Amino acid sequence: MSNYQAVYDAAFKQFDISYIIPAAQQAIAIVEMQMTRPSVLFKPQLSLDGNQWVALYGANLQEGVAGFGDSPELAMLDFDAAWNKKIPTQPQ
């Protein structure tokens, strides 16, 4: 039986992929972070406004949340930042 174990160990040692686990965990964390961005979850409307892209969630700029950028990606990133901003308090 000891010969069998030696052959088994030699054959399957080359299939050890445990070194991939940390990289796979990191990739999963990155995907999870990207999939939970506000621009992914809420899917704002993307359009051109003059020379900039606009990502708008809501009826209009006054009532909704918007992000602006020179590319669709930059508009979505700005939308994500705008989504997390608090409404400024009004002085009394």
pLDDT at 92: 67
Q: How far is CA 16 from CA 9, 25, 45, 53, in A?
A: 11, 17, 46, 48
* Residue 54 belongs to a domain: yes
Tell me if 44 is assigned to some domain.
Answer: yes
Q: Does residue 88 belong to any structural domain of this protein?
A: no
Residue 17 vs residue 86, higher pLDDT: 86
Whether residue 92 is contained in a domain is answered as: no
Q: Which domain covers residue 47, as residue numbers?
A: 2-83
Is residue 90 situated within a structural domain?
no
Q: How many domains does the chain have?
A: 1
User: Would you say residue 89 lies in a domain?
Assistant: no
| pLDDT tens per residue, range 23-74 | 999 999 999 999 999 999 999 999 999 999 999 999 999 999 999 999 999 9
Count other C-beta atoms under 10 Å from residue 60's C-beta. 8
Task: Return the bridge partners of 57, or none.
Answer: 65
Q: Is the pTM of this model over 0.75?
A: no
